Amino acid sequence: MSTAGKGGTITIDGRGIPFEAGQTVMDAALAAGIYIPHLCHRPGLTPHGSCRLCTVEVGGRNAAACTLPASDGMRVDSDTVALNAVRKTITQMLFVEGNHLCPGCEKSGDCTLQAVAYHLGMLDGHFPQFYPRREVDASHPDIVLDRDRCILCELCVRASREIDGKNVFAISGRGIHASLIVNAPSGRLVDTDIEVTDLAAHICPVGAILLKGHGFEVPIGQRTFDIHRVSETDRERLPLVRPDHVDDE
């Protein structure tokens, strides 16, 4: 008999945890304080299943925890040597595919990609750098879009659509030709209806969407991942809302 649509218990790395009807393995893990590495997932937004960092093993098969519905009795392996090796390889590929120059990036210390790399013990990119040529859009008075660092997670796409009630961003193209585009005939951010108070302007896990005029407000050493481990799941259980951004002036 199918157990879909009912709550129950699943086991992650040998630990039994409850889940509610409709929850995914990721939902249940986060609710129980179990960290499964992830980049394209934020509670409160529709799961996307694109980064594959949350790959877990269930019944001898790999699946993305963020899109896999929990079902009663499911046994999940996550924190294994083999899965963490795959996650590290994915992270290395993300680093070499873009231009992630951490020492010169304003997001350093607040960047989830960087924090995940530390978590997984990544010491280098391993693969040859692509050094792609990507367009920077500094047309907006308050927000800069640096595609060099975009990992195509679509968090901004979903935040704009699902929380801000707009449709500012989209992904165009496929494979290594995929890129983030904005919804304006000119193709420039200034001609969209994005505002600095939009969640989409704040949700980027890397330094691809940044606010102008706020660089290095928080000193290195006092930033999110200088103080918190990426595995502290309680940081992610806060409801997603449009932030009250207040300028200094």
**Contact positions toward ligand FES, by CB under 6 A?**
38-41, 49-54, 64, 66
- Position 201 contacts ligand SF4 (CB under 6 A): no
- C-beta of 248: minimal distance to ligand FES in Å? 35
SS3 171: strand
Starting at the edge strand that comes first in sequence, how are the strands of the sheet with 143-146 ordered?
A: 136-137, 143-146, 209-211
- Provide the residue type at 104 as one letter: G
- Position 10 contacts ligand SF4 (CB under 6 A): no
Q: Where are the beta strands (DSSP E) in 15-60?
A: 15-19, 55-58
Residues in CB range of 52: below 8 A, 6 or more apart: 64, 90
Within 10 Å of residue 87's Cβ, how many Cβ atoms?
Answer: 25
**C-beta closer to ligand SF4: residue 42 or 119:** 42
- C-beta of 47: minimal distance to ligand FES in Å? 7
Residue with token string 């996307």:
48
Closest CA to 118 of 228, 221, 230: 230
**C-beta closer to ligand SF4: residue 34 or 147:** 147
Report what 54 binds from ligand SF4, ligand FES, none; CB cut-off 5-8 Å by kind. Answer: ligand FES
Distance CA 80, CA 229 (A): 19
Residues in CB range of 158: below 8 A, 6 or more apart: 45, 46, 48
**C-beta closer to ligand FES: residue 36 or 144:** 36
Tell me the per-residue interface mask from 170 to 199 with ligand SF4, x by CB under 6 A, - otherwise.
----------x-------------------
**C-beta closer to ligand SF4: residue 26 or 70:** 26
Report what 115 binds from ligand SF4, ligand FES, none; CB cut-off 5-8 Å by kind. Answer: none
- For ligand SF4, the binding residues (CB under 6 A) are 150-156, 180, 203-204, 206, 208-209
